Every structure is written in structure tokens, then in C-alpha cells.
Structure 1
Amino acid sequence: MSEVRKGPDEADESQCDSGIESLRSLRSLPEPTPAPASRPSDGGGPQTWTHPPGTAKEPQEKEDADGERADSTYGSSSLTEPLVLLGGLEAEDPAPRSPLPPMGALSPQQLEALTYISEDGDTLVHLAVIHEAPAVLLCCLALLPQEVLDIQNNLYQTALHLAVHLDQPGAVRALVMKGASRVLQDRHGDTALHVACQRQHLACARCLLEGQPEPGRGPSHSLDLQLQNWQGLTCLHIATLQRNQPLMELLLQNGADIDTQEGTSGKTALHLAVETQEQGLVQFLIQSGARVDARMLNGCTPLHLAAGRGLMGISSTLCQAGADSLLRNVEDETPQDLAEEVRGIYSALFSKASHTHSRDRCCH
């Protein structure tokens, strides 16, 4: 099989596994040939999979608000209608334990369809998620080898990434139960859980954190909640920047380190909460055990950031929690120095404004 073509803006191979190795035993899908209308059925068994006439679609891509591809180049009708023949299932939410035909009951063409790879690197599992076809997804999960679930497309997204991206907790739960990896990273270095935090999909995050593969589907992929994406952010950092306290609580309950530093400047979640100027988040993190005097790479504590921004309420909250106002950063500045500097700037601006106002009154 020829290698999957890479996009020009993808991460290099050293950043994440492309999943190409798992394709070596799979065959590409040949050009479909319509089955004769008069062909008899073999004893009532599954029908041969064929493209129905007139369902060919022009290449078509959809993008969501942040520019990530969320569709393939194939119309959904050419995917879901014929593949319902594999099981005839109609489910709102994939149920991995539903009865399915045994592997031997499938025709060669149906097996070829299940191992199809699109020009975008999408497997049928990706496409079932993209087109919100739970019956097709259910068939794939029951019939395909576990390693196929972890194949990454040309954007290094697994089907699990896409299920989270499109807020499909039922599909996320089904994929996790069937052993899909939760640690693979896409071209941005994001795991499926990073994506859940960025898009604030709490139900999907819960499925990823609490779900476990069923017996016989391989070892559990332990989640590293301290894993950083290419921007140096853990899931807790992202949830904090999104000001999403329920997500933060969920991550901390499942073992996220509250004092982990992000990879660019060494900020902890408490530093980031100060930068959001959300006093409630600051109080929540302090109550959850965050170190109030945690230092960035430049020596700044959360109190340095609050004082330097003139955030008097947050500065007071930090001081009440025991923050040291005399700690010095690499510039030899204390939070107290920064607060006085800010007050001096405000005082100068206020004095200048008062002087201008008095002059205007004299002129009139």
C-alpha cells in the first residue's frame, strides 16, 4: 500500500506516531462494481456491499469555527446507507455489546470496505464519527482489530480525537471501551482530553477519564494528566484558561497535579487564574491546595502578577492565603514594589487628568 500523503503543515514524525505501521496488513479498497440486480441471495446471509448507483459525491470539506477539518471528502449518504447492511442497526448511542454478525459472515467486499483508507488518511471509523453514523461505528468497533482504532489521519487525529471534537460522548465511551488509545497526540500535540478541555466538552472529558476498556481489548492506556501539548500546556492549564471550574474539578479529582508548570514560562494554574482576573478561580485553586508562592521561571509568584496588574481584590485574596509580598523575582522586584509602581502610575495619570480638568475650567 502506498504511504498516506502528509499535509504541508503537519508535525514531523518525531512529534507523534502516524499510525502507518498498523496499515501494513490492510488492503486498499478497489473500485466498487455494482452488483447485478438479479443476483440471488445466498441463503439469506448478508448482502454484498456495493455503492448504490448515483451516490457518488463531489469532494467536499467542512471546517468548523477554529479551522480544524471536521468532515471527509465523501458524502454521508454513500457511507451510511450501504453499510447498514452489515448489521441493520439503528442506535442513537453506540452500544458496544449489541449483537453483530461474525467475521466469517461478511463478504470479501464488506471486509474491504471496513479497511478503507481515504486520501485524507481517514479510516471508516473516522468517517463513521464524522458523519454521526453510530450503526456504522458499532460495526467497525466489533469487527476491526484494535490497532485500527488508533490509526491517525493526515492531521494526526484518531477517531477518538474527532469524537471529542464533535462532542459525541457516546462514541467516546464506545471507543474507550474497545481499547482506543487516549494518549496519542495530534499535530498540535493535543490528546483527546486536551481537545475536550479546549472545547469545554465536559461529558466527553468524563468518559475519557473514567472509562476503561472491556476485557480482551488490550491493556488500559493510563492517562498522563501532566502531559503537555506543543504549547507546553497540560489539560488543567487549558481548563483554567477557559475559566471552566467544573472541568478543573474533574481533572483534579482524577489526579492532575495542581502545581504543574506550563512549558514556556513556568506558570502554574494559579498564575493563569490570576491572569484571567477571575477571583473565584483563584479562590478555588487556593482552597484545592495550590501553592500561593509558586514561582515562574523568572521568579514571579502569583502575587507578583496580581500586584503588577493592579488587581487589588485578587492580591488581597492571595495575601490572606499566606502569599509573601517580599519575595523577589529575577529583576529583584517584590510584589510590594510592583504594587507601588502601579499605584504611582495611577497617581500620575490621575494628577495629570485633574490638572487638565482644572485648566479647562479656567479657560472657560
Structure 2
Amino acid sequence: MDVHRAAIMNYMDCNVDEMDTKNRKVQHCEDRVDSGVDSLKEDEYMKIVEEMESLTLPNPSANPKGMCEPWTQEVTEDGDTYLHLAIIHEAEDYAIQIIKQCQNDPFLNRQNNQRQTALHLAVITEQPHMVDRLLKAGCDPRLVDQSGNTALHIACKRGSLACFSVLTQIQTQHLRSILTFPNYSGHTCLHIAAIHNYLSMVESLVQLGADVNAKEQCSGRTSLHLAVDLQNLELVHLLIALGADVNSLTYGGYTPYHLTFGRQNSEIQRQLFNRTAQELRAMPESESEESDEESSSDDECMYDDIQFCGR
């Protein structure tokens, strides 16, 4: 839920014009509501006035330190801030100075034109010590790039064990939601680690709370289905040991065992055959075959009263 909320906020950032339109509509509505003030009684009106006068507005000088600095508004044509650039070019001293001035400041979560935060770039450039500093300074690990990847998704894709370790040990209050969050290809961090054959990450993710039976959103395959697709016997063994459900069905009704048909690794097929429920071992009937049978039977019923030459 937290990740989903962070992703929605990212989307809203891209729709300023739409928001302005909505604000204008809201303002119009508020004008109509305000027009009813004249109908209030004198004592009710005075009470509202007293309450409004008692309200205290925040002091403008109390804005976060970083946001008061002009350099925080400077960006390149790619949308990169000075912090992005310092991390991209591995200018560690400059990056540390910027981070120190922007503790818990929204500036840390600024995204470039590819929706990458400084945290994404620190993982991409393999700087776990910078990942550590950014997280401790308040960088949000739930934010996603233009492909829907959090920083942890990227670490799993790149096999960066050092960055993976930092991301899963700091700000752990968000970890559970990040582990369940699919990117725009429908893959969770566990799916990505499995696809790229990072076995130690697969094991760590499950131990951290990732659902070993989570289905990717395109066709409903679990990590075990993906392991069979990749003909990765070692990964199949690991996932089964971690509790993967061999009877899990894709959206098309296929078990991992069904995906072994026509594949060369007979050992994977044997391992899954012995574990798959007997009633699920047969291949499911194709929907196209069923529809052909239904259409042919319908055609027979439709034209069975036609006579040729009086017969």
C-alpha cells in the first residue's frame, strides 16, 4: 500500500496541468460555498472570525534548509540535480556535502526525466556507501523510475549484493510493501532475482518476507514457473526447498510441471512430476480447442434441418 501510494504521487507529479484544471474547479466550488456566509447569524459569524484569528500560520523562514538554497532548483536538460550529477560522476565529497545540507528534505527525492532518484543512481553506479547515506538522510526507497522499479528492484536486476544488503537493512518499515510491489512488467524483486539467477538473493528475499508463490502479472507465473522456463534445475531445487507450491496455476491453468513438456531437462520434469498432484498432471484443454468444438456442435445443430433434393 505504501509503495502504491508513492507511485501514485509520482504519477501526479507528471500531471501539473490536470491538477491546475482540478484546482480551478475546486476554487469555483469554494466560491459558491463562500457565497452562503451572509445567511449566518451574527453570533455564529463572530465565532468563526474568532477561530480564524486564533489560527497560527507556519513561519516562512522555517522551510527546510535545502529548499531555501537556489542551487536546489538547478537541473540539467535531463532533469538531473546537482545531487544526481555528483552521484553519476562519483564525486563523493560533493554528494556528501549536499546530503548533509538536505537531511529529511524533499530535495533528496527529486526525480530526473527518467523518474530516477539519487537512490536509484547510487545503486546503478554501485555505491552502497552512498545508498546508506541517502537512506539515513531520508531518501524514500519506495519511489519508482519510469519502468516502475524501486532501488531494490534495480539491485536485484544487477545482482548488487552490497546495495541489496543496505536497502534491506535500513528503513525496514517499508521493506514488506516494497517486496510485494511489481514493476510495470509485472515482476516483483523475487521474480527479477530468479530470472537473473541470483540464488543467494532469491533465498534472502524469501527469508525477508517475499512471497515465494507470488505471480507475475502478465501470465500468472510464479518464480518456480520462471525457473522451469529457464531450465534452471538448481533454482527449481532451491524454490521447492523454500516452500514453492508445485501445484500453482498460471492464468491459463498450467502448473510448473506442464511447462516441462517439450523441454530438454528431463530431471526437472521428473522432480516436478513426483510432486505435482495427480489430477493436475494432465495438460489442460486449450480454450481454442474447446471453442472449436463448441462452434462445430453449434453449426451441426443450426443446419441439421436443411434438406438437399428433398432429403
With the length of structure 1 as denominator, give the TM-score of the two structures: 0.58
Instruction: Tell which deviates more after alignment, 265-274 or 322-331.
Output: 322-331
The 3-state SS of whatever aligns with 1:187 is coil
Q: Which amino acid aligns with 1:173?
A: D
> Is the 1:114–1:140 Cα contact (8 Å) retained in structure 2?
no
Counterpart CA distance in 2 for 1:18 and 1:127 is 25
Task: Give 1:150 shift.
Answer: 0.8
- Quote the Cα distance in structure 1 between the aligned partners of 2:264 and 2:78: 50
Per the alignment, residue 229 of structure 1 pairs with: 183
Aligned: 1:155 with 2:109: no
C-alpha distance after superposition, 1:327-352 (max 9, x if no partner): 1454269xxxxxxxxxxxxxxxxxxx
Equivalent residues in 2 for 1:1-364 (5 A)?
Answer: 16-17=10-11, 111-144=69-102, 145-212=104-171, 220-224=173-177, 225-320=179-274, 322-327=275-280, 328=282, 330-331=284-285
**Aligned structure 1 segments of 4 or more residues deviating by more than 4 angstroms:** 18-21
Q: What do residues 254-280 of structure 1 show as CA deviations (whole Å, max 9, x unaligned)? A: 111000000000000000011111111
Deviates more, 1:257-266 or 1:169-178: 169-178
CA contact (8 A) 2:193 2:199 kept: yes
Displacement of 1:200 after TM fit? 1.2
After superposition, the C-alpha distances for 1:152-200 in whole angstroms (9 at most, x for unaligned) are: 1111111111111111111111111111111111111111111111111
Give the SS at the match of 2:107. Answer: helix
The residue type equivalent to 2:236 in the other structure is V
SS of equivalent to 1:16: helix
The answer as to whether partners of 1:18 and 1:151 remain within 8 angstroms in 2 is: no
Residues matched between the structures, number: 229
Q: Distance in 2 between matches of 1:161 and 1:266?
A: 28
- Gap change, CA 1:314 and 1:15, over 3 Å in 2: farther
Q: Secondary structure, in 3 states, of the residue corresponding to 2:10?
A: coil
Name 2:52's counterpart in structure 1: none
Distance 1:249 1:147 in 2: 34
Using the alignment, how far apart are the partners of 2:277 and 2:286 within structure 1? 14
Secondary structure of residue in 1 paired with 2:202: helix
Q: How far off its partner does 1:129 sit?
A: 0.6
Q: Please tell me the residue identity of whatever aligns with 2:95.
A: L
* Counterpart residue type for residue 16 of structure 1: N
Matched with 1:8 is none
- Kindly indicate whether the alpha-carbon contact (under 8 Å) linking 1:18 and 1:153 is maintained by their aligned counterparts in 2: no
The one-letter amino acid paired with 2:276 is: A
TM superposition shift of 1:222 = 4.3
Gap runs ≥5 in structure 2:
1-6, 16-64, 288-311
What is the one-letter code of the residue matched to 1:174? R
User: Residues 18 and 137 (structure 1 numbering): CA distance in 2 closer, same or farther, change over 3 Å?
Assistant: farther
Cα–Cα, structure 1 residues 177 and 15, in superposed 2: closer, same or farther, change >3 Å?
closer
Aligned to 1:64: none
Quote the offset at 1:325 in angstroms.
4.7
* Structure ID, larger Rg: 2
Give the 3 Å change call, closer, same or farther, for CA 305–20 of structure 1 in structure 2: closer
Output one character per residue of 1:192-244: Cα deviation in whole Å (capped at 9) or x when no partner: 1111111111111111111139xxxxxx5444211111111111001101011
> 2 CA distance for matches of 1:329 and 1:318?
14
CA distance in 2, matches of 1:117, 1:286: 49
The AA in structure 1 aligned to 2:90 is E
CA distance in 2, matches of 1:311, 1:298: 23
CA offsets 1:73-121 (integer angstroms, 9 cap, x no match): xxxxxxxxxxxxxxxxxxxxxxxxxxxxxxxxx9xxx933344222211
Q: Distance in 2 between matches of 1:18 and 1:122?
A: 19
TM norm structure 2 = 0.67
RMSD of aligned alpha carbons: 2.7
